[in-house]
Structure 1
Amino acid sequence: MTKETIKTADAKLTVYLNGPSWDGVPAATFGDFSCKTPDAGAEILFKGVERVQDAGLDRIIGPMSGDTWHSYRFVSDSDGSAPFLMEPTNKLHEPGVFQSAGFTEISRYFSARVPLRTAAGSAPPETDGIVVEEWDGTDPEALFRQVFKLSTRAFSNNAFYTPISETDFLAMYMPVVPMMKRDLILFARRRDGTLAGFLFGIPNYAEGPNPNSAILKTYASLEPGAGRHLAHRFHKTAFSMGYETAIHALIHDDNTSAERSAAEGATIFRRYSLLGRKLNG
């Protein structure tokens, strides 16, 4: 990944020159951004734009640390509650710094919460085509190799998707293994045993060692209906484990998951924006 970090006394920015395509056109991304003041942020964004122009690119996406596998998105609206585990965060003034530099919103996301007592009772129709099972707790590397293979297929049509190597994927997820609960790592399999979907849930340890909420962090499916069965099993299991609330994390506004979250009675508590700028547009 071609990148360069720019620092001043009061700001930092990393410019990634081989970011994802935006409407079919190669784009750079601005990630790892922080600034103490709007003026310091404006100065470093100007320097970043110069680097992108020197590289012959005219589109920039941000904040994004190179791709959607890593940290991206600004918090754009919040109820003021504390960040949950692995949630993106930023200073209140930082989105405005990007907007003042000509960036506009190109994608929207949200997180929502729902009482597990409510969500656990919302069962999907029975089916004999999908079987949901939990991870057996052994060989976490093999677990994430399975997740990697399905993720690359399930997410390949998503906006701003770029491929990642299996080695890089494992390097991202293996450090999380000590925090995982096997009961919240779920697989959906077809009747012939082939993998149709997965769900990665994790306790919200940002609340401390004994959290009240569990995070539905990521799920993906290749079979219609598999995601709904995975989500129901997650809610039911988390409730039986004593968690009170489920967090539906970082959902794209246009994703089918957004409709399911609303149907289950979840309430949005945070919104996020991904911004972009066309330098010659």
Structure 2
Amino acid sequence: MNPCQLHLSERPGEERSDARIHLTDASGATVAAAALWWTDTPALDGNPIGTIGNFEARDATAAKSLLDHAAGILRERGCHTAIGPMNGNTWRRHRFVVWSNGRGSFLLEPRNPPEHPGWWAKAGFSILSRYSSSVMPLDGSEVLPPAVKARLAKSGVTVRNLDASRYEDELRLIHAISLKSFSSNFLYTPLEEDAFLHAYLKVQTHVDPDLVRIAERDGKPCGFVFGIPDLEAAGRGEQPALIVKTLAVDPESHCAGLGSLLVDELHRIGREKGYTEAIHALQHESNTSLKITGRHHGEVLRRYALFSRPL
């Protein structure tokens, strides 16, 4: 068998990748490819990392060869760990599906051939972090005790929907809350406001303002929950679930119970709009929002993992 040939391009690529690599066989056909990032990537234990994303491969042998080459390139660029699949940072596409209950994919969910995680493991990668998505019926139940709800209201907390006539301004306040809420998250990097606006302006026509709930205390934003319909399920002719995409609370607001209040509110609105299920999507294994999911008796429908390899 003739060895594959490595091709490396270090021109800036899609999603600001630092390089693109691919392997070709003797006929010139691509057998594996990936993009690499080592600039402006997250840190792990205070050390720089490189990430591998947009991965594809024909078989396990091609995958291992490509990943070995990728690890070598990232090591030469000063990275201590290779992490993937990740397109540069956690704001972009990352994670492999590693288990499923068989339910169809939902909107914005990562997807991959089932053999990919095993191919990465054979190339020396191991699981760095785990995530899950859970589904639950919208049966009208609320998990926030009435006394806590009353305390939040007495402290000046109100919840409203997104004002579609001020969509861009609303995105700016959602971005500001996100930066504060997620700053201690695993592999966190800040996202520039312009990049955040660009991503959400593209999907404006699909955003239902009633499914974006914004909490304020005395007129100052202090949290939000962003819900979207599962348009992918609708496209398959199925009843779409309500996807709870993002939940964020400003830690400086000191509003204990606000996350539960926002989720209860979104579930209530969703049920009024005819949704019968909610999906709490892509939650990190250490995320405190998993407690809310548990109180709503969520059942895991998918598990995901991020992989790493020391360099």
SS of equivalent to 2:164: coil
Aligned-pair CA distance for 1:144: 1.1
User: Does structure 1 conserve the Cα–Cα contact (< 8 Å) formed by 2:143 and 2:260?
Assistant: no
Kindly report which structure 2 residues correspond to 1:99-138, keeping only aligned pairs within 5 A, or say none: 99-118=121-140, 120-125=141-146, 126-127=149-150, 128=153, 129=155, 130-138=157-165
User: Does structure 1 conserve the Cα–Cα contact (< 8 Å) formed by 2:159 and 2:213?
Assistant: yes
Number of the residue aligned with 1:3 = 18
Aligned-pair CA distance for 1:260: 1.2
Aligned-pair CA distance for 1:213: 0.8
Number of the residue aligned with 2:229 = 203
Equivalents in 1 of 2:72, 2:285: separation in Å?
Answer: 32
Equivalents in 2 of 1:254, 1:165: separation in Å?
Answer: 25
Deviations 1:152-185 (A, max 9, x none): 1110111100112111111222111111111101
* RMSD of aligned Cα (Å): 1.5
Number of the residue aligned with 1:55 = 77
Equivalents in 2 of 1:244, 1:7: separation in Å?
Answer: 45
Aligned-pair CA distance for 1:139: 2.4
Q: Establish whether residue 275 from structure 1 lines up as the match of residue 307 from structure 2.
A: yes
Q: Establish whether residue 67 from structure 1 lines up as the match of residue 89 from structure 2.
A: yes
User: Does structure 2 conserve the Cα–Cα contact (< 8 Å) formed by 1:124 and 1:229?
Assistant: no
Q: After TM superposition, what 4+ stretches of structure 1 lie above 4 angstroms from structure 2?
A: none
Aligned-pair CA distance for 1:24: 1.1
Residue 118 of structure 2: which of 63, 74, 96 is its match? 96
Letter in 1 for 2:207: M
Deviations 1:50-97 (A, max 9, x none): 211221222111111100100111111111111100001111111111
Instruction: Flag the structure with larger Rg.
Output: 2
SS of equivalent to 2:264: helix
Q: Establish whether residue 15 from structure 1 lines up as the match of residue 36 from structure 2.
A: yes
Deviations 1:138-158 (A, max 9, x none): 122112111111111110111
Number of the residue aligned with 1:35 = 57
TM-score of the pair, normalised by structure 1: 0.94
SS of equivalent to 2:199: helix
Q: Establish whether residue 178 from structure 1 lines up as the match of residue 199 from structure 2.
A: no
Q: Establish whether residue 215 from structure 1 lines up as the match of residue 237 from structure 2.
A: no
Equivalents in 2 of 1:124, 1:272: separation in Å?
Answer: 32
User: Does structure 2 conserve the Cα–Cα contact (< 8 Å) formed by 1:14 and 1:30?
Assistant: yes
User: Number of residue pairs matched?
Assistant: 277
Number of the residue aligned with 2:109 = 87
SS of equivalent to 1:72: coil
Letter in 1 for 2:32: A
User: Does structure 1 conserve the Cα–Cα contact (< 8 Å) formed by 2:231 and 2:240?
Assistant: no
Aligned-pair CA distance for 1:7: 2.1
Equivalents in 1 of 2:145, 2:160: separation in Å?
Answer: 16
User: Does structure 2 conserve the Cα–Cα contact (< 8 Å) formed by 1:124 and 1:232?
Assistant: no
Equivalents in 2 of 1:185, 1:274: separation in Å?
Answer: 28
Deviations 1:189-227 (A, max 9, x none): 11x211110111000000125743110000100232211
Aligned-pair CA distance for 1:36: 2.4
Aligned-pair CA distance for 1:123: 4.4
User: Does structure 2 conserve the Cα–Cα contact (< 8 Å) formed by 1:204 and 1:212?
Assistant: yes
SS of equivalent to 2:160: strand
Moved more, 152-161 or 1-10: 1-10
Letter in 2 for 1:13: A
Equivalents in 2 of 1:89, 1:4: separation in Å?
Answer: 23
Equivalents in 1 of 2:182, 2:163: separation in Å?
Answer: 25
Number of the residue aligned with 1:193 = 219
SS of equivalent to 1:273: strand
Number of the residue aligned with 2:26 = none
TM-score of the pair, normalised by structure 2: 0.85
User: Does structure 1 conserve the Cα–Cα contact (< 8 Å) formed by 2:234 and 2:240?
Assistant: no
Number of the residue aligned with 1:261 = 293
